[in-house]
Structure 1
Amino acid sequence: MSESFPRLHARTRRFSLGVPRGFTIAPGGDRVVFLRTKGGSDPVTCLWEYDVLSGTERLIADPRVLAADEENLPPEERARRERSREQAGGIVGYSTDAAVTTAAFALAGGLYVVELATRHVRRLKTAGPVIDPRMSPTGVHVGYVSGGAFHIQDLEDEVDHTLARPEGPGVAYGLAEFVAAEELDRMRGYWWSPAGDALLVERYDESGVCTWHVADPANPARPPAEQRYPAAGTPNAEVELFVLTLDGGRVPVPFDDEYLVNAVWDAHGLSIVTLTRDQRTMRLFDVAPATGASTLVREDTDPAWVDVVTGIPGHLSDGSLVWVATAEGGRRLFVGDRPVTPPGLQVREVLDVDGETVLFRAGGEPTEIALWAYRKGQIALVSPTESGVYNGHTAGGTLVVTGQTLDSEGSVARVLHNGKPCGHIASHAERPGLDLRVSLIRAGERDLSTAVILPSGHVPGSARLPVLMDPYGGPHAQRVLAASGAYLTSQWFADQGFAVVVADGRGTPGRGPEFERAILHDLATPVLEDQIDALHGAAAQFPDDLDLSRVGIRGWSFGGYLAALAVLRRPDVFHAAVAGAPVTDWRLYDTCYTERYLGHPDEGHYEASSLFADADKLERPLLLIHGLADDNVVAAHTLRLSSALLAAGRPHSVLPLSGVTHMTPQEVVAENLLLLQVEFLKKALS
């Protein structure tokens, strides 16, 4: 008997296991280092190397051979994995020297270094459990964080040096603070100089941040975990920067803005990017490492917010600045002070700057994300012409292109050298075994990107099916993409007897800054209007397949908020909802995300987006699901909404998940969550 999709989906970590990732290309372009598990259900990530000319790969380091015990990870490492949504275990991150001859990684709190040519692995003695080890560009030292202190170790004599120690509780050196990792896509807190003789190191002090307690009610003997959580309108961690030299020197790098977005230390100098608390001004500074003095290079402003784009700043070999900013209604790539992409091509991120080449992701059609390269004043498409979602890296004339389409099953990693295909890096991911029936359409008055997924055996026009809206619907994330992996769970729900509709409304990426900024000061009205608009638009195009008298909605995180919002405010349209880990009161969510869209709580924009005032309107079945160990959207969101519903006399269901975080990585939990949702929706919509 074949394994059920829910079990396979859970066991394979949403089919992410076995997929190659984390690519580093050697400067000569002859080798590619990467991460991958050995199989599609193997959760232990190994380090590999691919030879570009021969097309062969070698296993460099296997955690099982190293006998590492991952049951007792440092709490900081568990938090880092939660912030990065890491699904697997083993070697989940690594760094190399500039020549890509030596790699360092942390495993179960230990520090390991491997010579790639010989595959000789050694474990270094450290002061304590290790977080985020990074090789110096010269390969002579490795930096790491342990217990909030920042260390470097000389790889020749294995002498450990502590360059900075925390001065008190709540202080740490070399790590990204909570909001940087969760909301700014900055997972690191230190940067080596190109010469390997100094580092820029972050110091954060979160002693002034609100202390929250995340308890496990199923195990009352365990003390609650303390967490510093910067809720909207409350203090953030105080962040400072220092240039630390290997001989013990310490130079402060002062800046006035609230957030450190990024830092880059390359052959053209040290640069930092900062963002004001209201996120309407972003500044780029050049920093003199010897004195800490900074010079303003660029200042971007926006009356709503300035977009944080990964991969910038960068520099071409002649020192020209690589940047991304909004101009003429589009998010555009800049080289120097000149935009080099058209306004209609929305730039998503910069991936690599290699000499005179800039590799970046961008798309004109919202459902497609292609790979483009800028070189000598021209841009060129470098990913396949087939519609899909692509990513990649480049160095030394070698280009690794990963991606998938609606017709492909899983991701493919192609390797090209000097523009010519020379092989693939194999994926060991399991096959979902689903027959996708996805139609991508534009729906409603705003031509919203929408996917309609029908059961694999459904004959069009043969029956009108209950509808399941399956959105995320909020900023940062798209659901409607020309990629098969985006619809696996939706297809499984469809095969249970639903017509599934997935729509990206205002606020979601892909259609440019104006579309995204339509949610300013109101996270509820535009996104809910657009789900209804897309639903009716889809029904107009599939009139004999969608039954609008039976409409359910499900979602997680922002999607959970949207699902609860839908049945509370529009019971005439939505007849049942499953709200997983929903944000119910935006005052309980973090500063950086929430204030970007709603401003400071004192400005008065929060009530209109809260769910509590709508509690007495509930007249449809609502299932609330929440992990009690969630440190991102804490369980208080669901518990407070449940209390408000109870006070209003409105029946509802609550499913608490003991020991489960925002990611729900546990196999049994992930499997049964799908089954329970189907049972609930079928009963509610029958």
Structure 2
Amino acid sequence: MKFPKILVAFILATSSVLTAQKKEVSLEEIWSGEFRQERLQSLQSLNNGEEYVVMNRDRESGNTSIDIYSYKTGKKTRTLLNSADLSEIKSFQSFKFSEDENKILLSTEVEPIYRRSSKNIVYVYDVKSKDLMKVSEEKIQEASFSPDNSKLAYVFDNNIYILDLKSKEKTQVTQDGKINSIINGITDWVYEEEFSFVKAFAWNPTGEKIAFLRFDESEVPEFSMDLFGKDLYPTQQVFKYPKAGESNSEVSLHMYDVKSQTSKEVDLGDKYDVASESSEVNTETITDFYIPRIKWSADPMLLSVQVLNRHQNNLDLIFVNAEDNTSELVLNETDKAYVDITDNLTFLEDNSFIWTSEKDGWNHIYHYDENGKLIDQVTDGEWEVTNYYGYDKKAERIYFQSTENGSVNRDIFSIKPNGKNKMRLTERDGTNSADFSADYTYFINTFTNTNTPPVYTLHTSKNGKQVREILNNNELLSKVEGYDFSEKEISTININGNDLNMWMIKPLNFDENKKYPLLMFQYSGPGSQSVSNTYFGSNDYWYQLLANKGYIIVCIDGRGTGFKGADFKKVTYQELGKYEVEDQISAAQKLGERNYIDADRIGIWGWSYGGFMSSNAILKGNDVFSMAIAVAPVTSWRFYDTVYTERYMRTPQENPSGYDGNSPLNHVEKLKGDYLLIHGGGDDNVHLQNSMRMVEELVQANKQFDWAIYPDRNHGIYGGNTRLHLYQMMTDFILEKL
């Protein structure tokens, strides 16, 4: 069919207008929250399994409320509490129910300490009487109801206290708490950061006992940070931080009897590491171990304790009888490299328990009897269980998330404890996660893939059938349509004999006959994952901005990353920064062979572990990478903490070559390209010391580079305009240097 010339002209003009309507994303839009995703906030199932609660905040008034919704209909059924009805407080930042849901803890005036810890002014709200009681005039930590709601335990100034909610009588459980010396009931810095918990005490199911950990950190070396603020004189933050090879806190387990108001230390037996015969360190016994988890079993007088040696390759599961404080070894797990700690231990009514392990080379679920004898390996195969959701005793089914549908994907499954009748409960390929109701009748599925921002749907746990859609991000999708965004392509690339997961973002008007500069991003830390079938995060929008300016962006998960089996993950043991860097260099070389990539213009960047990687890449791969950006990098594992570093490297005394051979500090003379180093001055995690030492080594090697320090900012480097400034700096550097 032949169109009239005037019609053709009209079509071309219309097409031109439509194209012109598309716009490029800006840094201001990215970091102002323009592409913020809608999420379900503070969702928590009620005991009845039919309803859930959400904490809502009225942005205009500032009031907060706890609202109840029906799982089945999604409709709000009632408001349990609104701060507008409370004269004592205007709003609260978080809440926690008692076991019977008749009382609620409200946290206000939250003061962050480290990544997971905070101090709060806490109130107790009585649902029936609507009375509100202030727990203490002081900010306290980790308040927790007793099982019968009659008491509240909490930590103040490193000591544990119990408050009788009826008589208002306060009992001090421990007396020796002292800042930077003795801690009772909460963890020290390194436990909080690396074992991911703060509350280190637990009521037993009858409320008669409290098990708690005590940390003696008096011999742990102190670290100090200058905080400049806005006053005439800076302040100094001093805290205990055990760097690799240095003294840890001495940790001990104690059992407190509520009635007699006495506590006793629990003897866990001889726990120690013995240095290997080939080591240069003293071969005397090291009485040094960790207690990364305590949890009461189905027997109210039986406490489970996980004890890990300092090398973290020998894990004991110990049962402690709270009546006489005797202990018994129930399960032992060892590994040539290290054993990961999880929260997956679940006790069934008969005190048999569910446990996850990598002992067959892949992370799977196991069922043991109360004496630690294996009943069944519940899951098996060359794929990983990535989340354990729990056990439904009524349906006799275990719920879990796994990579059975590919390591970049996640699906939800249920299975019998004997490993039979496995059922996939999700249908769409991508990343599925679940939040189950208290009785496992329903689960809320969060789904996302590279084309779909999070969609929240309600499903029946019995067969995965969708009941209704709760929330979607269609408005975000509509907004995104107005921008010049490219597809995020997921594929694999064979490097050093392994098919590595990769994503790539190309310029919108990509022409394979042109040559484009390449920017690689990676994190690469042990067990991590940066390539997944998920929707854009903030950095992805930044990559779209760079793609619009003519760059190809690539991310590759090399050896040492997770979800491809234990051997793939643990190959980096005692050699952090060797195989991971080799893979990034080889990948850059292989990508540089493609016709459309300019092999002379390949850059790499990363944050934290990724900054360690990008620094090593431009030094060891100086003929491959012409530019690198390192944000908050570790520059020597000698500067990082004991728990994380020694898990993968052992101590510097045992493995000096592993520490020094892969430290960027020892390769600065190889720098040929353009290097930008960035750090936060208040980073309590990866200390500024790392970058300052890197600066000094580069200066003494007479190497020119760019660097920036963000005063008082922590490891996340955010607050106010900080992120916008940071990404503008990095963008300008990339545009100028790559």
Per the normalisation by structure 1, the TM-score is 0.89
Whole-angstrom distance in 1 between the partners of 2:449 and 2:348: 32
Is 1:54 the counterpart of 2:54? The answer is no
Residue aligning to 1:595:
646
* Superposition map of 1:311-330 within 5 A: 311-330=343-362
Match for 2:321: what amino acid? Answer: A
Q: Is the 8 A contact 2:674 2:705 kept in 1?
A: yes
Match for 1:621: what amino acid? Answer: D
CA pair 62-208 structure 1, distance change in 2 beyond 3 A: farther
* Superposition map of 1:480-629 within 5 A: 480-486=531-537, 487-538=540-591, 543-603=594-654, 604=656, 605-629=658-682
Whole-angstrom distance in 2 between the partners of 1:284 and 1:254: 14
Q: CA deviation at 1:65?
A: 8.1
Q: Is the 8 A contact 2:291 2:306 kept in 1?
A: yes
Whole-angstrom distance in 2 between the partners of 1:405 and 1:65: 42
CA pair 44-232 structure 1, distance change in 2 beyond 3 A: farther
Task: State which of 414, 423, 429 in structure 2 corresponds to 1:373.
Answer: 414
Match for 1:260: what amino acid? Answer: I
Whole-angstrom distance in 2 between the partners of 1:122 and 1:429: 41
Q: CA deviation at 1:217?
A: 4.7
Is 1:254 the counterpart of 2:298? The answer is no
Match for 2:695: what amino acid? Answer: S
Whole-angstrom distance in 2 between the partners of 1:368 and 1:476: 15
Whole-angstrom distance in 1 between the partners of 2:685 and 2:382: 34
Q: CA deviation at 1:390?
A: 2.1
Q: Is the 8 A contact 1:179 1:590 kept in 2?
A: yes
Match for 1:388: what amino acid? Answer: T
Residue 99 of structure 2 aligns to a residue in which SS? coil
Q: Deviations over 1:25-47 (max 9, x none)?
A: 233311223456668x9999865
Identical-pair percentage: 23
Whole-angstrom distance in 2 between the partners of 1:517 and 1:147: 40
Q: CA deviation at 1:534?
A: 3.2
Q: CA deviation at 1:206?
A: 1.6
Q: Is the 8 A contact 1:96 1:137 kept in 2?
A: no
Q: Is the 8 A contact 2:455 2:473 kept in 1?
A: no
Match for 2:324: what amino acid? Answer: T
Q: Deviations over 1:366-393 (max 9, x none)?
A: 1112222233433322234422242433
Whole-angstrom distance in 2 between the partners of 1:639 and 1:346: 40
Residue aligning to 2:199:
188
Whole-angstrom distance in 2 between the partners of 1:454 and 1:373: 39
Q: Deviations over 1:629-652 (max 9, x none)?
A: 000001010011000000110011
Residue aligning to 2:53:
33
Unaligned runs of 5+ in 2: 1-20, 110-119, 273-288, 369-373
Is 1:388 the counterpart of 2:388? The answer is no
Match for 2:68: what amino acid? Answer: E
Whole-angstrom distance in 2 between the partners of 1:312 and 1:544: 48
Whole-angstrom distance in 1 between the partners of 2:565 and 2:163: 46
* Superposition map of 1:394-543 within 5 A: 394-396=437-439, 397-412=441-456, 414=458, 416=460, 418-419=462-463, 420-426=465-471, 431=476, 433=480, 435-445=485-495, 446-455=498-507, 457-461=508-512, 463-486=514-537, 487-538=540-591, 543=594
Q: Deviations over 1:197-230 (max 9, x none)?
A: 3221122122211111111256561221101111
Whole-angstrom distance in 2 between the partners of 1:66 and 1:633: 42
Residue aligning to 1:155:
165
Q: Is the 8 A contact 2:46 2:437 kept in 1?
A: no
Residue aligning to 1:223:
235
Q: Is the 8 A contact 1:586 1:609 kept in 2?
A: no
CA pair 165-54 structure 1, distance change in 2 beyond 3 A: farther
Match for 1:253: what amino acid? Answer: V
Match for 2:453: what amino acid? Answer: E
Q: Is the 8 A contact 1:271 1:284 kept in 2?
A: yes
Is 1:145 the counterpart of 2:186? The answer is no
Q: Is the 8 A contact 1:50 1:425 kept in 2?
A: no
Q: Is the 8 A contact 2:186 2:213 kept in 1?
A: yes
Q: CA deviation at 1:190?
A: 1.4
Task: State which of 288, 294, 299 in structure 1 corresponds to 2:332.
Answer: 299
Residue 656 of structure 1 aligns to a residue in which SS? strand
CA pair 630-501 structure 1, distance change in 2 beyond 3 A: same
Task: State which of 84, 91, 94 in structure 1 corresponds to 2:93.
Answer: 91
Match for 1:568: what amino acid? Answer: L
CA pair 648-125 structure 1, distance change in 2 beyond 3 A: same
Whole-angstrom distance in 1 between the partners of 2:524 and 2:688: 21
Whole-angstrom distance in 2 between the partners of 1:444 and 1:69: 59
Residue aligning to 2:295:
264
Residue aligning to 1:10:
31
Whole-angstrom distance in 1 between the partners of 2:575 and 2:88: 48
Residue aligning to 1:283:
316
Match for 2:389: what amino acid? Answer: L
CA pair 389-677 structure 1, distance change in 2 beyond 3 A: farther
Q: CA deviation at 1:575?
A: 0.7
CA pair 428-443 structure 1, distance change in 2 beyond 3 A: closer
Match for 2:449: what amino acid? Answer: T
Whole-angstrom distance in 1 between the partners of 2:570 and 2:685: 24
Q: Is the 8 A contact 1:264 1:271 kept in 2?
A: yes
Q: Is the 8 A contact 1:171 1:203 kept in 2?
A: yes
Q: Is the 8 A contact 2:345 2:353 kept in 1?
A: yes
Residue 224 of structure 1 aligns to a residue in which SS? strand
Unaligned runs of 5+ in 1: 71-88
CA pair 12-192 structure 1, distance change in 2 beyond 3 A: farther
Q: CA deviation at 1:591?
A: 0.3
Residue 677 of structure 1 aligns to a residue in which SS? helix
Whole-angstrom distance in 1 between the partners of 2:340 and 2:141: 29
Whole-angstrom distance in 1 between the partners of 2:131 and 2:556: 48
**Which is worse superposed, 58-67 or 249-258?**
58-67
Whole-angstrom distance in 2 between the partners of 1:221 and 1:155: 44
CA pair 14-284 structure 1, distance change in 2 beyond 3 A: farther
Whole-angstrom distance in 1 between the partners of 2:162 and 2:34: 35
Q: Is the 8 A contact 2:524 2:561 kept in 1?
A: yes
Match for 2:575: what amino acid? Answer: D
Q: Deviations over 1:133-168 (max 9, x none)?
A: 222333332322121121222333443332223344
Whole-angstrom distance in 1 between the partners of 2:547 and 2:349: 51
Whole-angstrom distance in 1 between the partners of 2:133 and 2:591: 57
